Amino acid sequence: MFVSECVEIKKINRILEYTKIKMKKKLPGLSAPQNLRCWELIVERTVKKSV
């Protein structure tokens, strides 16, 4: 169980790193706060799926 949790944390960290890169580029047609909210939702969904 502990090992899988570590794997999940790494996965989430990777998503967050990817998100940071994407945020710098900014999704077209969205303001930064909207962008951030979109990514938060994506991360939340990913976390829920993996739990």
Query: What are the domain boundaries of the chain?
Result: 2-50
Burial class for 15, CB neighbours closer than 10 Å (0-12, 13-18, 19+): middle
Cα 35 to Cα 21: distance, rounded to the nearest angstrom: 12
Summary mean pLDDT of the chain: 71
Residue 25 scores a pLDDT above 70: no
* Residue 31 vs residues 13, 23, 36, 50: alpha-carbon distances, Å: 24, 10, 9, 29
pLDDT of residue 33: 66
pTM score = 0.35
